[in-house]
Amino acid sequence: MITQSSKILGALGYDYYTFKEPGEVPERVDLKFKDILAELSLPSLNDEYLKTMAEKRLFKHQLEALRKLSQGYNVILRSGTGSGKTEAWLFYAIKNVKRTLAIYPTLALANDQLQRLKRYSEILGLNVVAIDAKRKEELYKRLGSRVKLRRLIAQANIVITNPAFLLNELKKMGLYPEKSILSVFLREVDLIVLDEFDFYGPREIAILFSMIRVLRDLVSSNFQLALLTATLENANEVAKLFSQINSRPSAVIEGKAFKVKNFVYVVLGKDLCSLWKHIRTAFEEYSRVRGEELAPDVLEALEDFEKFRRDVFKILSVAEGLGLDVPRLELDPVEILQNYLNDEGVTLVFTRSIARAEEICRRLKLRLPLQLQERVAVHHHLISKTLREQIEEGARKGRVKVLFSPRTLSQGIDIGTIVRVVHIGLPDNVREYWQREGRKGRREEIEFSETIVIPSTRWDRDLLSRGVETFRKWIKLPLEKTIVNPNNKYSYLFEALFKFISPMLRDKLSEDEYNFLRELGLVSGAELTRRGKDVWRKMNFYEFSPPYGIKRIKMTKEGEQYYLEEISHCDLVERFQPGCIDYTSDGIVVLHNTGGRSGRVVTAVMEEPLGEGTLWR
């Protein structure tokens, strides 16, 4: 049974504002999945998940997407979370044996989909391979040779990867095709799927579309394109861009999200009645001394407790602006969260940063006996891939009940047991709010779900200072548009540089593109300049930096060293300068190992256990 947060908040003495959101179910059609894929009806099928799926009727948007793909269209499927977007392209691909490249922002997001894809594909004897830099090394060690690895991928029907790995493989294809382990597969690809498109920013979108255009020029197949999104606003612009890339017609298909009824709680604070009385006295004294009239809405709130309760952040903001001495609202997320450890479902807690997620997770664990601490976990990109997968599986199996994440779980992961999302600090935009919300209530058997908003940052208080009703209006605003600019100069730079470097595409380089590169000092005659080589090496998907991670090494008191998860150059600058605390390893950064031609290139981050002795040094 799902715990009702109204009882918890009431028992703890918290005042809160609440409202109900109705459930929503996409429209279904009179066609079952087994009617599309006859193999789902085989008596020999032993997979209970597939047996259940076989009897389900398709959503209308799934059928529309299947039909358009079958007619040779590109498809932009814009549908809410939990609405089966993956099945829309997957059933087309496996029924028609289309060689498919599925691109996810990170393979951490694809982990959840991988097993589902394999289940469907195996009943038809099709092969699914997931590949990124780490899996490449694992497969190489297992298979024993690069030739066998290339053959494994070449024989796959569906390849799942991320854009960072794909970009590096395209660079190899452009120069030395035999060095790319994806080259054979990509030359025969029929369908490219861009899943979780909402994850990308404008720069990533520009490079992603450039990569597709470059791939089109490198291979002879006129592949189809499919894009899956929950929150993309300007889908028609993307449809036009797709048609420009492959000269196929493009269709935008709309679908609703699947969600159960949801109760939203905005936590206001403890003992608001005493706070109300204190503020009334403070305002009365202010008016008496200054002789100034207060605004009508403030006066109403001082006379009516219910009005004050709804607008508490607004009244506090006014009081602070007038310089009045008012007590802080008491909000302790830990004492609220510890009540969900025995819940039937999983509580997913979003924070604004990794440090905040680690801090609250730690505080919660400290209040628990040892045997209950495994029910609490934190999930982000700085912990190892293996541990992330264990945490995800623990949440699915019911071993993990409270799961913290800054962003990695806001998209793509389908942990069907999530019944509650807690926002410790609201995100900056509406789109990310709904991405977070889309993680819960994704199963028909869930009776209801909950949203808990715990104000934590200045942004939350600024929003709520306009009244809690403003929050309701904010979440109903149109989603922020994803910027898709086909004339993006960064995209132009990437494509021009690729054409210049690749012997296969050199004849496609226009005079304008060459002059553009020359003006930037990247080329001279028929050669790359030193600057051009540096730009080409650093032009990668997620950041402008060399295409490798930076080692993170922890040194023990006994002098031993062991390797932690590698970090990006962005992480190095933002989180791993000397003196920074690494919450994920209970360590502190003590120095950077440097090397390179200049002696200034950071090759490794060295950490020591966090302790008084280390801090004093």
The domain ranges of the chain are 5-9+331-475, 28-255, 550-616
Q: What is the pLDDT of residues 501-535, one digit of tens each?
A: 999 999 999 999 999 999 999 999 889 999 999 99
Q: How confident is the model at residue 21 (pLDDT cuts 50, 70, 90)?
A: very high
pLDDT of residue 435: 84
| Exposure string over 209-232, b if 16+ CB within 10 A, otherwise e | bbbbbbbbbbbeeebbbbbbbbbb
Residues 6+ apart with CB under 8 A from 611: none
pLDDT of residue 264: 95
Residues 6+ apart with CB under 8 A from 55: 32, 33, 34
Closest residue by Cα to residue 131 from 94, 106, 112, 148: 106
Q: How confident is the model at residue 39 (pLDDT cuts 50, 70, 90)?
A: confident
Mean pLDDT is lowest, of 45-49, 162-166, 252-256, 529-533, for 45-49
Separation of alpha carbons 238 and 234, rounded Å: 7
pLDDT of residue 110: 58
pLDDT of residue 270: 82
CATH class for the region spanning 28-255: alpha beta
| Residue recorded with tokens 């020999």 | 44
pLDDT of residue 48: 82
pLDDT of residue 615: 65
Contact between residue 212 and residue 484 where contact means Cβ atoms under 8 Å apart: no
Please compute the mean of the pLDDT values over residues 19-29 and round it to a whole number. 90
Report phi then psi at 377, rounded to 5.
Answer: -150, 160
Separation of alpha carbons 425 and 452, rounded Å: 10
| Residue recorded with tokens 């779900």 | 449
Separation of alpha carbons 428 and 443, rounded Å: 28
Does 31 score more than 80 pLDDT? yes
pLDDT of residue 108: 56
Residues 6+ apart with CB under 8 A from 287: 293, 294
pLDDT of residue 168: 92
Percent of the chain with pLDDT over 90: 38
Does 571 score more than 80 pLDDT? yes
More confident residue, 483 or 314: 314
pLDDT of residue 113: 72
Contact between residue 209 and residue 486 where contact means Cβ atoms under 8 Å apart: yes
Percent of the chain with pLDDT over 70: 97
Contact between residue 529 and residue 521 where contact means Cβ atoms under 8 Å apart: yes
Joined together, the tokens standing for residue 444 give: 């028909």
Q: How far is CA 493 from the centre of its chain?
A: 27
Q: What is the pLDDT of residues 251-295, one digit of tens each?
A: 999 988 888 899 999 998 887 888 888 888 888 888 877 777 778
Closest residue by Cα to residue 400 from 378, 375, 419, 418: 375
Does 114 score more than 80 pLDDT? no
Contact between residue 245 and residue 215 where contact means Cβ atoms under 8 Å apart: no
Q: How confident is the model at residue 612 (pLDDT cuts 50, 70, 90)?
A: low
Closest residue by Cα to residue 110 from 48, 171, 199: 199
Please compute the mean of the pLDDT values over residues 598-602 and round it to a whole number. 79
pLDDT of residue 253: 96
The CATH architecture of the domain made up of 5-9+331-475 is 3-Layer(aba) Sandwich (3.40)
Provide the terminal-to-terminal Cα distance of the chain, rounded to the nearest Å.
52
- For the chain, how many residues are written? 617
pLDDT of residue 60: 94
Q: Three-state SS for 111? A: helix
Contact between residue 156 and residue 185 where contact means Cβ atoms under 8 Å apart: yes
Report phi then psi at 18, rounded to 5.
Answer: -135, 150
| Exposure string over 53-90, b if 16+ CB within 10 A, otherwise e | bbeeebbbbbbbbbebbeeebbbbbbbbbbbbbbbbbb
| Residue recorded with tokens 């595409």 | 505
Does 81 score more than 80 pLDDT? no
CA dihedral angle for residue 511, residue 515, residue 517, residue 522, rounded to 10 degrees: 120
Report phi then psi at 77, rounded to 5.
Answer: -100, 110
Contact between residue 156 and residue 98 where contact means Cβ atoms under 8 Å apart: no
Is 28-255 in the same CATH topology as 5-9+331-475? yes
pLDDT of residue 40: 87
Tell how strand 224-229 and strand 191-194 pair up.
parallel
Mean pLDDT is lowest, of 103-112, 230-239, 240-249, 603-612, for 103-112
pLDDT of residue 53: 86
pLDDT of residue 413: 61
pLDDT of residue 414: 64
Contact between residue 308 and residue 276 where contact means Cβ atoms under 8 Å apart: yes
- Mean pLDDT score of the chain: 87
Please compute the mean of the pLDDT values over residues 441-464 and round it to a whole number. 85
Q: How confident is the model at residue 412 (pLDDT cuts 50, 70, 90)?
A: low
Separation of alpha carbons 459 and 455, rounded Å: 9
Sign of torsion over alpha carbons 280, 281, 286, 287: positive
pLDDT of residue 585: 80
| Most confident stretch, 4-18, 190-204, 309-323, 507-521 | 507-521
Q: How many CB atoms lie within 10 A of CB 4?
A: 12
